Structure 1
Amino acid sequence: MRIKIQKMWGKVMRIESLIVLTLCATLAISFISVVPLSHAGGAAPDESEELIFYKEPECEGRGIWVWAESFSSDPNVEPMQIRDAFHNFSEAGLNFVLFLVKDSGGWLFYNSSIGPVDPRYYWDPLKVAVDEAHRFGLELHAWFCVFRDIKVAKERPDLAMVNSTGHVSTEWVCPSKPKVRKYLKSLIEEVASRYSVDGIHLDYIRFPNRTYCYCEDCRRSWLEEHPEKPWPPNSTDPSFIEFRQKLITSFIEDVQNTLKGINPKIKLSAAVFPVPKDAINNRMQNYPEWAERGIIDFITPMAYTSNTQEFEEWIKGTITAAKGKTLIYAGIGLYKILEAQNPEDEFRRQINITRTVKVTVDCSVLGVNGQVLFRYKYLEPFINATKEVYSQHAYTPHSEAIPPQIGEPIQDPPKDNVQPFQNVTITVNVTDYPTRIRKVILHYSINNGTSWNTTVMKQVCQNTYQATIPGYQYCTWVTFKIEAFDVVGNNATKDNYGLGYTYHVIPEFQTIHIGLLLALMTLTIIFGIKAEKSSRSHIKSTNKNLKLSHLKMKATLSLHVTCKG
């Protein structure tokens, strides 16, 4: 018996050994297939994983800034150069182009009837660019250098910015001046209405630094808003910072409204400084407010550096500041990456960071939506790496048209148990793919939809939003519905198929008092029935007793008569 057991145990051990060896071989093969051969003999450096293991999203912005001056001004040559370049962009996996139509010098690169066209380009580079971009499946966004306009600043010093020392700029024009705003908006309107552009991109949409501007128009506007404060204010005064931020923000909002009137499908974007505090407090680019108000479709933080860690920190800062309220396409400075020891590897690392970096903001996990390469002039050394990281086709997030998905709302307390002047909490799950939710609004009415009150619902976790409807007096009928907007302007409404969700405020006594009343009524009926039965039994018993008495009396009388007889 012992010998049999030993033989069986030997077989088991041999089977276990085979299994272990098989597993080890499988792991080894897997390891060899994953680790590059150059690192198979030792520990791979940390960056090797970053260089190799990145995932290409199916929805990703992949843009490039392009100067018209990158091509020949000869009308017999440049159109073919633009065609070849845009064909290469398409082959390299890019999906949109930011084409310069107004440079910082103030010159225009399209046939304008308003501003000065670059004299070298007596034909229309923008028209060719639009046609060729669309030929190769690329979007074309018209790129404007806004408040940096050297030509106007030099020719019209009355329109230029003035710094805190009184120096009149020869490069920058002031956004507080009505003539400046009108001129710049007219150029944007001209392009948007005459060309089939897919977007307008605003560059130099800022002040040069916080020492500007102290011109006469700024003084007058400041004193109108703050008559209690002296002039000039300190450049670090929070109120003066906010004053200048409003000048930039209001211009963007004016442009957005103009574009909506021309073609609501035209997207509006802006180039911003990569460090939020610098952008917001020194350049007056309050892009968190632009995002919150939904007046910008995407921003491109100009994270131009050859330092991987610095790039990642800047991108994380932008994500945190924007709070997921707008799309972010990280600006990658190719000219800066050329300074790196291995430019192509640094390019791959920065692309990988934009695809993997995550920041948790207000219980939402946020990231970046794409990249924009600065600029075409420096693309050639990176063309192979670009084809590698953009090997699969992707569509732009800002062009997606899928509306948000709104779940069934939950009401607390339930609709059949709302007391007079009791607040009602509405909770709902809202999702959006491939972009993100920007805002969820609760609409409620107490007059059957004749007029509506609105409140922005608070995000309480990743996809859950909540808001409160105030209490109303008894017998009030309340109707509500929910509307959601994503960061690219798509919206959806949940309104119970047009009927709205309704509840009725019940009278104050109904919850507990009606229950007691019903209980009392039930007891009354029970006691009544019992009393009635008891009464009937008593009457029957009485009748029986009377009948017995009558019979006894009759018998007595009969006996008496008999006896008497």
Structure 2
Amino acid sequence: MYGVVTRNAGEVDWSTFERAFYEVKDVTGRPAEPLPNAVNMVSCFGDNRAAGDDPDLVPVNEAGEPANRDRDYFDWAYVCPTHGAYREGLLEIVEDCVDANDDVRLDDVGFPREGYCHCERCERLFDESDYEDWYDWRASVITGFVAEAASRVPGRTYLTLYPDPYPGHLYRRDGLDLGVLDDGDDVFVVPLYDTSYGTTYWLETVARGFQSALGWKPERDDADGESGVLPSGD
């Protein structure tokens, strides 16, 4: 299947693609009206505008360093997933999306990366929780948000995953517990970007990794019976 992510409404009907994801809220914070003829997509905790307007929203690590574009390797700014008012705003956006189309894609779900967040609110919520392990607590925060959002989606919930299938990596990086989130009904999307796709072995490596992690095989007659990997180029 070939799909496209776009912020241009006219591109969702291009015949080249079988699935179109329309950015109702992207990482810049730019809003758009949901479309009925696309899977509307919400960048959840990536938000340059919100982070710029209110620095207190931005997650920090133990050293107090914020997860924003002023730091190396951060392409956009993040919002702390424990901020209640911001989460409620995201859920309202999801509700607006399903008024137009039953399916919704949740993008940029999770903490910025390993080591976040140690803001005063996160420290307090962890101390007040029943969890002894900080990473387990983080995962409960993200699992709870995804459950709240998915409960508002009458169709399919698509969830974007960072392309790292190795055991425990997404759990520690983002707080994503694949074993809990994989209920069999919804869809994980692993975005893989390349300027030309001239060398594709890494695509197969990542695909095989996720197939192993999720115990999934493509439902295709031409898929490899052992691994379920599709022929090159599919």
Aligned to 2:71: none
Q: Distance in 1 between matches of 2:215 and 2:191?
A: 18
Q: CA deviation at 1:301?
A: 1.4
Q: 1:358 and 1:212, CA in 2 relative to 1: closer, same or farther beyond 3 A?
A: farther
Matches within 5 A, 1:192-207: 192-193=98-99, 195=100, 197-207=101-111
Q: CA deviation at 1:358?
A: 5.0
Matches within 5 A, 1:215-226: 215-226=119-130
Q: Structure 2 residue aligned with 1:257, among 151, 154, 161?
A: 151
Aligned to 1:288: 179
Aligned to 1:137: none
Q: Deviations over 1:474-529 (max 9, x none)?
A: xxxxxxxxxxxxxxxxxxxxxxxxxxxxxxxxxxxxxxxxxxxxxxxxxxxxxxxx
Please tell me whether residue 66 in structure 1 is matched to residue 66 in structure 2.
no
Q: 1:367 and 1:166, CA in 2 relative to 1: closer, same or farther beyond 3 A?
A: same
Q: 1:357 and 1:303, CA in 2 relative to 1: closer, same or farther beyond 3 A?
A: farther
Q: Is residue 304–residue 311 contact of structure 1 (8 Å, CA) maintained in 2?
A: no
Please tell me whether residue 153 in structure 1 is matched to residue 47 in structure 2.
no
Aligned to 1:182: 88
Higher relative helix content: 1
Q: Is residue 303–residue 315 contact of structure 1 (8 Å, CA) maintained in 2?
A: no
Instruction: Report the TM-score, using the length of structure 1 for normalisation.
Output: 0.36
Q: Which runs of 4+ in 1 moved over 6 A?
A: none
Q: Is residue 12–residue 22 contact of structure 2 (8 Å, CA) maintained in 1?
A: no
Q: Is residue 6–residue 12 contact of structure 2 (8 Å, CA) maintained in 1?
A: no
Q: Deviations over 1:135-180 (max 9, x none)?
A: xxxxx10011110111111212222211121123341111112112
* Structure 2 letter corresponding to 1:147: F
User: SS of 2:4's equivalent?
Assistant: strand
Q: 1:258 and 1:86, CA in 2 relative to 1: closer, same or farther beyond 3 A?
A: closer
Q: 1:210 and 1:357, CA in 2 relative to 1: closer, same or farther beyond 3 A?
A: farther
User: SS of 1:314's equivalent?
Assistant: helix
Q: Deviations over 1:100-145 (max 9, x none)?
A: 11010111012xxxxxxxxxxxxxxx44xx3xx4xxxxxx100111
Q: Is residue 303–residue 314 contact of structure 1 (8 Å, CA) maintained in 2?
A: no
Aligned to 2:31: 108
* Structure 2 letter corresponding to 1:209: R
User: SS of 1:162's equivalent?
Assistant: coil
Q: Structure 1 residue aligned with 2:21, among 98, 110, 116?
A: 98
Q: Distance in 1 between matches of 2:158 and 2:67?
A: 26
* Structure 1 letter corresponding to 2:31: L
Q: Structure 2 residue aligned with 1:322, among 201, 210, 214?
A: 214
Q: CA deviation at 1:182?
A: 0.8
Q: Structure 2 residue aligned with 1:245, among 139, 144, 147?
A: 139
Q: CA deviation at 1:251?
A: 0.8
Matches within 5 A, 1:452-471: none
- RMSD value, Cα: 2.8
User: SS of 1:285's equivalent?
Assistant: coil
Structure 2 spans left out of the alignment, 5+ residues: 69-76
Q: 1:304 and 1:257, CA in 2 relative to 1: closer, same or farther beyond 3 A?
A: same
Q: Distance in 2 between matches of 1:280 and 1:359?
A: 27
* Structure 2 letter corresponding to 1:304: Y
Q: Is residue 12–residue 21 contact of structure 2 (8 Å, CA) maintained in 1?
A: no
Q: Distance in 2 between matches of 1:288 and 1:358?
A: 24
Q: Structure 1 residue aligned with 2:162, among 260, 273, 276?
A: 273
Aligned to 1:168: 66
Of structures 1 and 2, the one with the larger relative CO (CA 8 A, separation 6+) is 2
Q: CA deviation at 1:275?
A: 1.7
Q: Is residue 209–residue 283 contact of structure 1 (8 Å, CA) maintained in 2?
A: yes
Higher relative strand content: 1
Matches within 5 A, 1:404-423: none
Q: 1:220 and 1:359, CA in 2 relative to 1: closer, same or farther beyond 3 A?
A: farther
Q: Distance in 1 between matches of 2:191 and 2:62?
A: 27
Q: 1:175 and 1:225, CA in 2 relative to 1: closer, same or farther beyond 3 A?
A: same
Q: Is residue 320–residue 359 contact of structure 1 (8 Å, CA) maintained in 2?
A: no
Q: Distance in 2 between matches of 1:309 and 1:358?
A: 19
Q: Distance in 2 between matches of 1:218 and 1:290?
A: 22
Q: Distance in 2 between matches of 1:155 and 1:299?
A: 31
Aligned to 1:309: 201
Q: 1:308 and 1:367, CA in 2 relative to 1: closer, same or farther beyond 3 A?
A: closer
Q: Is residue 245–residue 285 contact of structure 1 (8 Å, CA) maintained in 2?
A: yes
Q: Is residue 319–residue 359 contact of structure 1 (8 Å, CA) maintained in 2?
A: no
Q: Distance in 1 between matches of 2:186 and 2:226?
A: 20
Which entry has the higher C-alpha Rg, 1 or 2?
1
Q: Distance in 1 between matches of 2:3 and 2:83?
A: 33
Q: Is residue 200–residue 267 contact of structure 1 (8 Å, CA) maintained in 2?
A: yes
* Structure 2 letter corresponding to 1:191: C
